[in-house]
Amino acid sequence: MEFTAQQIADFLQGDLYGDASVKVSDFSKIEEGKKGTLSFLSNPKYNHYIYESEASLILVNRDFEPDSDVKATLIKVDNAYEALAKLLTFVERLQDRRTGVSELASIAPSAKIGENVYIAPFVVVDENTEIGNNVVISSHCSIGEGVKIGSGVRLHTGVKICSKCVIGDDCTFHAGVVIGSDGFGFAPTGDGSYRKIPQTGNVIIESNVEIGANSTVDRATLGSTIIRKGVKIDNLVQIAHNVEIGENTVIASQSGVAGSTKVGKNCVFAGQVGIAGHLHIADGSIFGAKTGVPNSIKQPNMAYQGYPAIPVAIFRRSSVVYKNLPELQKIIYDLQRKINELEEKVNRDA
């Protein structure tokens, strides 16, 4: 698949500098650029590569001004990284134009399948399921009874969507994602054992949500677990029953949100963040790696670190103190020894 610089500039609504007829058919990193490829520059620390890169076409931010001649044709855009993402998504969709239902798939008679859908071998679609247009379902996926899937959804290998769940338009679930498995609900009994609480709710995932490999979103005990539009979830993330994740929140790998917690909009979770159950997390909250959150966060747009979570500025000051504890301990022991010596001397002189 080959495109000219002019076609790409028009698609991205960018400004073209250089040869508009140059053609590219692949992508490359700017430090490894090759003729016939498109690259990008968004981080200033990589600026020096642009003068030696062999890439034929390079996306740059509008405020970029070269210090010397650049061999490549440039396209200036508002945000080079975002433009690259838009372009990669476009190319990916062009390449993935498979349609049709494999004879090796099992489709229930009552299932409703939209137009231009691809269903791979060994997919199971249960009764009363609705699948929208332009959906791609890879091999070994399982779609439960009464599930509704919107248009443009991509399900990679081995995705499981359990009964009654609702998936919005343009979502992508990577290999091994499980949507709608039972929430972790068990009631203690008088003899010390636990009785399972049936999980009768579902999961609702709104549009433009992406979920990484082997992540899980549990169905609600009652009602719905809800992932709002634009949420991005990394690999190996656990979202428990009756949780609600606000719009455009980003959750990195190995994080977990316990049951019935409500997370606001535009939050950021770094890796291995743990959120306790039945909490409210304010909009715009940012949690550094391995932060533990045992209490609700009420003030929006604050950054936190540590366990229990404290404002990041306090955490950094505390870290300096913690690092110096062995030396401080020696000082305290030395001071205590001197105080003891002074007390003994005073007692002798009395």
For residue 15, which of 89, 91, 78, 84 has the smallest C-alpha distance?
Answer: 78
CA dist., res. 3 & res. 174, Å (int): 28
pLDDT higher than threshold 70 for residue 117: yes
CA angle 227, 228, 230 (to 5 degrees): 110
**The CATH homologous superfamily of the domain defined by 3-95:** MurE/MurF, N-terminal domain (3.40.1390.10)
159-308: CATH number:
2.160.10.10
Q: Which residues contact 218 (CB under 8 A, 6 or more apart)?
A: 180, 181, 182, 183, 184, 199, 203, 225, 238, 239, 240, 241, 243
Report d(CA 332, CA 325) in Å as an integer: 10
Is the model's pLDDT at 97 over the cut of 80? no
Indicate which residue of 48, 156, 241, 278 is catalytic. 241
Taking the domains of the chain in order of start, what are their residue ranges? 3-95, 159-308, 317-350
Whole-structure pTM value: 0.84
With cut-offs at 50, 70 and 90, classify the pLDDT of residue 106.
very high
The beta-carbon contacts of 24-30 under 8 Å, at least 24 apart in sequence, are 24/56, 24/57, 25/1, 27/84, 27/88, 28/55, 30/55, 30/58
* Mean of pLDDT over the chain: 95
Report in angstroms the alpha-carbon separations of 181 from 51, 136, 161, 241, 296. 52, 22, 8, 9, 26
For residue 182, the tally of other CB atoms under 10 A from its CB is 15
| 159-308 matches 3-95 in CATH topology | no
pLDDT > 70: percent of the chain: 99
Give SS3 for 137: strand
> d(Cα 280, Cα 299) in Å, to the nearest integer?
10
pLDDT mean over 304-317:
92
Kindly state the DSSP code that residue 151 receives in the 8-state scheme. Answer: T
pLDDT digits (tens, 9 = 90+) for 221-230: 999 999 999 9
pLDDT above 80 (res 96): no
| pLDDT (tens digit per residue) in 196-246 | 999 999 999 999 999 999 999 999 999 999 999 999 999 999 999 999 999
Annotated catalytic residue 241: yes
* Confidence bin at 348 (pLDDT 50/70/90): confident
User: What's the confidence (pLDDT) of residue 94?
Assistant: 75
Q: What is the mean pLDDT of residues 35-40?
A: 96
Mean of pLDDT values over 65-88? 94
How much is the pLDDT for 349?
A: 78
Strand partners, 280: 262
Mean pLDDT over residues 265-293, rounded?
98
